[in-house]
Structure formats: structure tokens, C-alpha cells
Amino acid sequence: MVRDNNPNLINFTFIFSNKRTSNLGVLLLFYPIIFTMNQLQLIVNQIFTDSFNEKPMIVRSPGRVNLIGEHTDYNGGFVLPAATDKSAYLAISPSVTNTGKWVSVDMGETVEINFDEIKFYQNHRWINYILGVVQQFENRGMKIPPFNCVLAGDVPIGSGMSSSAAMESAVGFALNEMNGFGLNKKQLAQLVQQAENEFIGVKCGIMDMFASIHGKENNVIRLDCETLEYQYFPLNLGDYKIVLFDSGVKHNLVESEYNLRRQQCEEGLTFFRKHFDESVKNLSQVPLSWLQSSKSQLDPIVYKRCQYVIEENQRILSACENLQAGNLKDFGIKMTATHEGLRNLYEVSCKELDFLVDAVWHESSVLGSRVMGGGFGGCTINLIKANAIDELFDRLSVSYKQNMGIKLKTYSVVTANGTELVICD
Ligand code: GAF
């Protein structure tokens, strides 16, 4: 897909791809095995310094988890995400020539970009995440001079932890800093969301980039996606931990039905505006009674989608009260209720995710379990008693392999600060 007919586009030329830079060599071959999070910043720093003979600016930008409030963001509702220690790392510096050299450590690719033509790279998707952000600055009249960069990350791709938002937020943050544009964090999150909506083509809400940019260690963020007002809540889980089980089913939100869900919600909202109140701002604010009294007039699919969104938005608000009151048991019950809604009403689960939830939710050590993020694959998020996690994972991986034929992976969640500059000596 080439998008070169938009007058706002800057132009880039793709000069070469798929060439490993000579200095990556054996280092990159073993990179996924050898290097842990803190070492990734050293890696991007080293590769950048070796390749460009100068010290770069380095930005860390985290992935996210979301405790509850799924598919509510683009419906003007609430969400409850936290930034994680799994992050994208970007080393960046202005280029002294007319071109920029961009290196993806994870993909083992280097490209040279001529800032003349912008187009969508079907087979080198990581480039699009950078280009989309560049384009948004340019659309706002903020000229981006050529730059060199090196990217790496340990946010698992396609697992529902927002590896793409982490990367885009890193690029947005770095370009804002490097060029002194002075955008604030909210403006940056909006810019990055627009890049994802317009260039990547996923009509996502703002949760992922907002969480990545605004994250705070040991806290979750209760974000009102209509007003972008937010509040940090300390995450006190006592004996429990957040654990992700990775179904190994890779989701792709562009090719998935994500955009269709959004359309169905818009159809519902249009109906409520027409028949009840023109001024209702979003679907999350529609009272359940309006929905119930409209059953015979609404398309049954649209009805189910609306029911899920309205109920989920109410659920997150009372789940936040549970969290504040330290009532983790009721919080967990609501997480599992969210899964039921996502499975039966919103229909964004899949058999592998359902298996993982069904296999654990009744365990005495588990408070709640549900699919996390966009769905159609990726991870489940679970609240599990710390001393039971290993044994549960062992049992679950055996039955998951037997039933689904997939090796189960798990990530324990460590909350972290949002997008930030990091110092490498
Ligand atoms: C994806 C999207 F990017 C988010 O905006 C959000 O809609 C989420 O799915 C579902 O809650 O991560």
C-alpha cells in the first residue's frame, strides 16, 4: 500500500533494506537470549555509537498492561492501565546528511531513509511506526530534520502489551525533545494515537500510548478517555501478583475485526443520539435502560456490542472502588466478568484465550482472569497468589500444550515509569 497522494506527506525514499549492519554481527544473533531489559539501553547505545560515531539521546518507552476497562477507550469510557518494565529503547540523533539511517535490532534490518517520499512499507512494518509519527509532527507544521536511530525492545510483539505504542511513543517523545517542540504529554499521546489511526490504519483508542507516556511505577492510571483526565491509584496487591499468560496466538489489529467493532459501536451511538439525546457524548455514557428499551430496533450484533461497552464502563468504576478499598476479591470477580463480556457479547476472544481463562478462574489462588488488550490472541491477565504462581503455571502449560498444541509463555508484571530519557555512560 503506497500512500503518496496526500499533499501533507513528506517524501522518503527507501534505499536499502534487509542488510545487517556489519557491527551487529554475532551480537545480534544472540541478542534475544543474552540481553535483559537494562542491557537493551546499552545495546542501542553501543550500536548507535559504533555506527554513527557519536553519542545518541536514548529514550525508554514502556509497554502496558490493563487491569480492567477493555474496548472502552474509543467509546469515551474509563480504562485502568499501568506501564510495565518491558519497553522499547530508541537511540537517536540528528543526521548530518540529507538521509537518515534507521536500525531495527529486533528485525536485524537497516534502512536508509531519504526524506523526500513517505510511503507505507508492507514488508517492513517497524519503519511505518516511525514514519507515522514523523508525519504527524509534519502535519502540525513541525518540520522533522533527518535523523539516525537504533531501536530495540523486549515488549513481546502481538501479545497485547502494546509493543507498537511503546515504539511510537519513544519516537514521539524523542523527536519532541530533540527538536524542542514543547508538546506536553497529553499532546504527545494524541499525536501518537493519530499516527496509529491514520498511518498504520488501526482505529485504536488512546489508552496504550497514554499509559506508555504517563506511566508511574507502582501505580495504575484511571483514565477518562473522553476528557483525558486521569488519576494515579497505588497498586496494592498484597499477596497477589499480576501474571500474564501468553496464548502464543499473534493478533494483528489491522487485519482483525478491531476496526469493525469500532464501527458497530459508532452505529449504536448514532442510534441513541437519534432516538434519545443528540448531545450524548459517547457510548459509555448511554444508560443501560436506553439500550434495553431499544432491543427490537437495534441490530442484534450492535445490541451485544453496546451492552458490553455500557456494562464494562460501569464495571470499571466499581472495580476502582474495590481496588481503593483493598477488596481484591470483588475486583477479581469483575475481571472475570469482563472476560465473559469480551467472549460472549463483544466476541473478541478466541478458543486459546478462553481455554486459559476457563482453566484458572475457579482456582482458589486466582482472583480474576481475562483476555487483555484488543483480543483475538495475545495474553490473559490474571491476579494470582504469589506463592501459587509457579505450580499453576506448570500445570497450565502441560494442559495448554495437550489441548491447544502451543507452548505456554508467562510474564510477571513489574510496573514502571512512563516514557523517559535514559542516561548511558
Ligand atoms: C488495543 C487498542 F490499541 C487500545 O486502544 C484499546 O482499544 C485496546 O485494544 C482494547 O481495550 O490495545
Give the CATH number of the domain where residue 36 resides: 3.30.230.10
Number of domains forming the structure of the chain? 1
Residue 358 CA to ligand 1 center (angstroms) comes to: 23
Segment 57-73 mean pLDDT:
98
**Residue 253: pLDDT band with limits 50, 70, 90:** low
For residue range 368-401, list pLDDT tens digits in order: 999 999 999 999 999 999 999 999 999 999 999 9
For residue range 175-224, list pLDDT tens digits in order: 999 999 999 999 999 999 999 999 999 999 999 999 999 999 999 999 99
Instruction: Annotate 8-71 with DSSP letters as a single string.
Output: T----EE---SPPPTTTHHHHHTHHHH--HHHHHHHHHHHHHHHHSSPPEEEEEEEEEESS--S
Which member of 73, 154, 208, 246 is catalytic?
A: 208
Q: What is the pLDDT of residue 114?
A: 83
**pTM to 2 decimal places:** 0.91
356: in domain: no
- Kindly state the cell numbers that stand for 388: 501459587
Segment 220-238 mean pLDDT:
96
> Residue 290 contacts by C-beta under 8 Å, 6 or more apart in sequence?
272, 275, 276
290: in domain: no
256: in domain: no
Q: What is the pLDDT of residue 119?
A: 83
24: in domain: yes
* Cα pseudo-dihedral 3, 129, 350, 360, rounded to 10: -170
239 vs 159, more confident: 239
Q: What is the pLDDT of residue 11?
A: 34
Query: Residue of the nearest CA to atom 2 in ligand 1?
Result: 204
**252 pLDDT more than 90:** no
**Residue 18: pLDDT band with limits 50, 70, 90:** very low
Q: What is the pLDDT of residue 25?
A: 40
> Residue 160 contacts by C-beta under 8 Å, 6 or more apart in sequence?
251, 371, 372, 373, 374, 375, 377, 378, 379
- How far apart, in whole angstroms, are the C-alpha atoms of residue 300 and residue 312? 18
> Residue 321 contacts by C-beta under 8 Å, 6 or more apart in sequence?
none
**246 in Cβ contact with 156 (< 8 Å):** yes
Containing domain of residue 197, as a range? Answer: 9-236+416-422
196: in domain: yes
Residue 373 CA to ligand 1 center (angstroms) comes to: 5
70 lines ligand 1 (CB under 6 A): yes
- Kindly state the cell numbers that stand for 6: 496526500
Query: Residue of the nearest CA to atom 3 in ligand 1?
Result: 204
- How far apart, in whole angstroms, are the C-alpha atoms of residue 72 and residue 314? 10
Q: What is the pLDDT of residue 256?
A: 73
3-class DSSP assignment, residue 379 = strand
Q: Does 208 participate in catalysis according to the annotation?
A: yes
381 lines ligand 1 (CB under 6 A): no
211 lines ligand 1 (CB under 6 A): no
314: in domain: no
Q: What is the pLDDT of residue 401?
A: 98
Give the residue among 122, 106, 98, 99 at the shortest CA–CA distance from 20. Answer: 106
265: in domain: no
59: in domain: yes
Q: What percentage of the chain carries pLDDT values higher than 90?
A: 84
- How far apart, in whole angstroms, are the C-alpha atoms of residue 382 and residue 371? 9
